[in-house]
Structure formats: C-alpha cells, structure tokens
Amino acid sequence: MGDFNARKIEEAVGLCEEADKALKSGFFKKPDFDLAASKLEKAAQCFRVAKDYERCADALERAAVCQNTLDMHFMAATLTEQQANIMRDQLNNPSRAGELYDRSHELYMSDGKFQKAAEALAKAAKMIQDTDVDHAADYYARAAAIVTGQELFTWSGDVIRRACSFFAKNKRFDDLLRALDDAVIMNKALGREDDTSRALASKAIVFLCMDKAADAQVALDKAYSEYENFSNSAIAPATSDLVHLYKQGEPEQFTNCQSQQVFKHLDNEIARLVQSIKLPEGASADDFM
C-alpha cells in the first residue's frame, strides 16, 4: 500500500508541474487555464487516493481558481465544495470548511444555481453553529432568503426548517420570527395546512418567549383572519389558551396548558421553547390590557 501511495503522489506531483507549465506566460504564450485546471483536478484525485489530503485540498483550490478565471463558475463552485468536504471530513477544520462552503455559494449564485447556493450556505452554517453562533445565524438567514426569494420550497425547504431550529435553540428570536415568516410562505405554497398552522402558532409562542403578550395576540389574530384553515387546526386553540392564560397570569393553568400533547408536534426546539416560557412575576391581567 505504501508503494501504491508513493506512486500516486509522484503522479500527482508530476501533474502539478505540468499545470505550472501550462500557467506560464511569455511573449508568444498565454496561460492555458483549461489545461491547468484539468491537470490539477487529476492531481487532486491522485492525492486523495494516496490520502495526502492537504495537497489534495491545495490542488482543488488551484483548479477552482483556474475554472473561475475561465468564467466556469459552476465548475469552480463544485471544486470549492469538494475542498470544503476535505476540510470537513479529513482535515477536521470546520472553520475553513465553512468559509469554503460560503465561497462555493457565491460561485453557484454567479452561475444562477440558487438551490446549490442555498444548500452550500446551510452547510457553512452547520460547520460553525456550535462555535460561532453569529456567523452561523448569518449563513442560515441568507440561505433561507435564497430559498424564499427563488421559491425553491420543493427542493430546499429543509434549509428553512434547519434555520428555524437553529434560531430557536439559540434563542435568536428576531431571526426566528423572520424564518417562521419564510416557513409560512413555504408551507402555504406547498399546500401543507398543518405545517402552515404550526408555523403561525410558533410566531405567537416566540412573542411569549420575548415577554410580548400583546404581540403574541396580534400574531394569533392575524393567523385567524388571514389563514382560514388555522381555526380548524389542533394547534390554534391550544396556542390561544396559552396566550390567554399568560395574559391572565394563572400559573397552574398555564403550566397545564404548556403540557398539552399538541405542542410536542412542533419543531423540537420550538417545543422546548413552549416549556421554557415563564409567567412574569407579579403579573396580572391588567398588565396586558
């Protein structure tokens, strides 16, 4: 196996040297980016087979630069995403992987591949969501915006669901409200009545988490008036009771309401938010009038 790997590395190094020659310019010679890209992609494959992942990633990056110079944005994006995968899976560098997924998103956007762009941003977010919440939130928000703006609900709807779950887990309530708006648009477009109702109810729940009972009531009233199927859903009366009891300041009844089974059918992180809501100490119904 050692001899095989050594031969593959020797082959890869030779291909890189050929790429270097193709990229040289002179008075009568222009750089041949197409040839160089081909050599570097083959070199990357050889390095990968030989498990020399550092040089594999470097070859992929150089090949991507060549393809981008040729305005072959999709090819450049694909190579950049492959490099990100190497950083994620073999080199244990999630931060760099996130940067590369973001870069691949930009290249996919340049080529009009919006679905791939949104999914690349979601991958970038996943790489850093446990270590850099702010940047991950930005990635998720941008990914959701692409999905909604381009109406990619059938193919990339999971991006919005992941964004909602992330924002809920990290209690980024303003971001979560925007993502839930995207979820409402998506589920309406797909004809998913129950999911639409759950997203609408989730908005009221988020406002309660923010101690904004009046806004929660407005969100509920809007759901009832603008989405005719909301009143027929199982989540509607339970959420109405939750908001009402919050405003009434009835601790025991409020706790019982929180334990209703219907709330467990929400996204896991939003279901946890329901359980986390606390009545304001010393609050009375008059405070919410």
pLDDT digits (tens, 9 = 90+) for 257-288: 999 999 999 999 999 999 999 998 765 545 54
Q: How confident is the model at residue 25 (pLDDT cuts 50, 70, 90)?
A: confident
Q: Which H/E stretch holds residue 107? A: helix 94-110
pLDDT at residue 29 in the model: 84
Token pair belonging to 80? 């950049």
Residue 111: Cβ within 10 Å count: 17
Q: Give mean pLDDT, residues 10-17.
A: 97
* pLDDT for position 282: 60
Rounded to an integer, what distance in angstroms lies between the CA atom of residue 31 and that of residue 15? 16
DSSP at 280:
P
Q: Is the dihedral of CA 204, 208, 209, 211 positive or negative?
A: positive
pLDDT (average), residues 12-19: 97
pLDDT score for 69: 97
DSSP for 215-272, please give it.
HHHHHHHHHHHH-TTGGGSSHHHHHHHHHHHHHHT-HHHHHHHHT-GGGGGS-HHHHH
Question: With 60 as the cut, is the pLDDT of residue 111 above it?
Answer: yes
Tokens linked to 129: 């969501």
Structure tokens at 250: 């009835």
What is the predicted pLDDT for the residue at 221? Answer: 97
Structure tokens at 198: 């759950």
Q: What is the mean pLDDT of residues 114-140?
A: 96
Q: Return all residues near 275 (Cβ < 8 A) that are at least 6 apart.
A: 258
Helix, strand, or coil (residue 26): strand
Average pLDDT of the chain is: 95
Beta partners for 29?
26
Task: Express each pLDDT in 137-174 by its tens digit.
Answer: 999 999 999 999 999 999 888 999 999 999 999 999 99
Q: Considering the chain, what percentage of its residues have pLDDT values greater than 90?
A: 92
Q: What does the pLDDT average to over 90-102?
A: 97
pLDDT of residue 288: 46
Q: Is the model's pLDDT at 8 over the cut of 80?
A: yes
Rounded-to-integer distance, Cα 108 and Cα 150, Å: 14
Q: What is the pLDDT of residues 41-95, one digit of tens each?
A: 999 999 999 999 999 999 999 999 999 999 999 999 999 999 999 999 999 999 9
pLDDT of residue 281: 76
Average the pLDDT over 175-201 and give the result. Answer: 97
Q: What pLDDT does 287 receive?
A: 52
Task: Give the pLDDT score at 167.
Answer: 98
DSSP for 43-73? HHHHHHHTT-HHHHHHHHHHHHHHHHHTT-H
**Chain-centroid distance, C-alpha 129:** 10
- Residue 162 is predicted with a pLDDT of 96
Whole-number Å distance between alpha carbons of 257 and 213: 16
Please compute the mean of the pLDDT values over residues 204-224 and round it to a whole number: 97
pLDDT at site 34: 97
Measured CA to CA, the distance from residue 35 to residue 267 in angstroms comes to: 50
